[in-house]
Structure 1
Amino acid sequence: MKGIIFTEFLGLVEQKWDEDMVDDIIEACDLPSGGAYTAVGTYDHREIVALVSELSERSGVAVPDLLQVYGKHLFGKLAASYPEFVNKASSLLTFLEGVESYIHVEVRKLYPDAELPSFETRRPDPGVLEMIYRSSRHLDDVCHGLIEGSIAHFKTEASIEREPLDDGTMFVIRCQ
């Protein structure tokens, strides 16, 4: 997993709690990396799982809730760092449709070794997007938060429904 996922997570922890919480969760997890991350490095995804679990235990916030908040936070950071990925889209649903065909293609150019989830989309009705998320890491809650972040970015009134599938999760985004 790319280091930017770790650096942004720890940045969120520092922002929402404090620097001491960052140090405490890193120390408690006994991580192979020692908790020293660079944005372009690659790390075992089990380290983020350990960090999130430890934060949940210390903060009393459920893991799914932490991951959704993190996903929303991450979208804001990625949109600010890579505006060309977001600004190319004319609307929320156009943006979400382009994640696999445009954004992930561009991410692979920057980070050829990145292990990205896959997305399959279809539009059953105007204003509705079905988005199937598949990943061996099963970070559905982060994906949910990223979608929430994109809704906020595009200033669109929308709802998100989740449906577990045998091989992933379907998100249904309905614009009002």
Structure 2
Amino acid sequence: MFVELLKMAEDAFGEDVVDHVLDNTDLEHNGVYTSVGNYPCSELVKIVDGFSEHSGLSPNVLQVKFGHWMLEHFAQNYSEFFTDKTGSFEMLEAIDQEIHVEVKKLYPDAELPRFATERMADNHLSMKYSSPRPLVGFCHGLIEACVEHFDEKASIARCPVAHDETSTKFDIKLES
């Protein structure tokens, strides 16, 4: 995720801005990340905050944009997960049961978020996102981009889950 965040920021703001943010942010790994490394989420949040200060966009808006960026990355680099899906709901339902199973094979120590889904109607999916990491905006962006990937339109509402600070509920309703 770190490598892709920096690619997105370089595309949006330029290499000089990325270097400036990394140089002026207190990071344990000094802004040096690899695609196979495992880094604390707190560093990701610090980097997003740095780009927020530079751009004037809120951290939430940047996380949503990053969610869009990552869905495109996943679709290009892991197309096999998308090919047999007929719509966004099928794709979102496959995250825990299919995609994260494969991720765990490659990275057994990965601490992945949980996605519990329930079909409320043909056009309504309820998804509970659970993670101790403060990446709800990123998840929201992934959902939006997933809907767009399948050429669908939807309203997406999110709200915290009572008595569970680490979870957020998304209600996704496809529009006709």
Match of 1:126 among 93, 97, 122: 122
Classify the secondary structure of the residue corresponding to 1:41.
coil
Q: Percent identity?
A: 41
Please report the RMSD computed on the Cα atoms of aligned residues, expressed in angstroms: 0.9
Instruction: Give the number of aligned pairs.
Output: 172
Alignment of 1:94-109 (within 5 A): 94-109=90-105
| Aligned equivalent of 1:43, options 22, 25, 39 | 39
TM-score by length of 1: 0.95
Paired with 1:10 and 1:36, the residues of 2 have a C-alpha distance of 10
Q: Amino acid of the residue matched to residue 149 of structure 2?
A: H
Task: List, as ranges, runs of 4+ consecutive aligned residues in structure 1 with deviation greater than 4 Å.
Answer: none
Matches within 5 A, 1:129-148: 129-148=125-144
Are 1:174 and 2:173 counterparts?
yes
**Structure-2 separation of matches of 1:151 and 1:130:** 14
Counterpart Cα distance in 1 of 2:41 and 2:120: 34
Deviation at 1:88, TM superposition (A): 2.5
Identify the match of residue 15 of structure 2 among 19, 36, 43.
19
- CA deviation after TM superposition for structure 1 residue 113, in Å: 1.7
Name the SS for the 2:145 alignment partner. helix
For residues 49-128 of structure 1, the aligned pairs below 5 Å read: 49-128=45-124
**Residue aligning to 1:6:** 2
- Per the TM alignment, residue 87 of structure 1 is displaced from its structure 2 partner at its CA by 1.7
**Structure-2-length-normalised TM-score:** 0.95
Q: For residue 93 of structure 1, report the CA deviation from its aligned partner.
A: 0.7
Any idea what the Cα deviations from partners look like across 1:77-96, whole Å, max 9, x if unmatched?
A: 11111111122312111111
Equivalent residue letter for 2:13:
W
Unaligned 5+ runs, structure 1? none
In structure 1, what residue type is equivalent to 2:170?
Answer: F
Unpaired runs of at least 5, structure 2: none
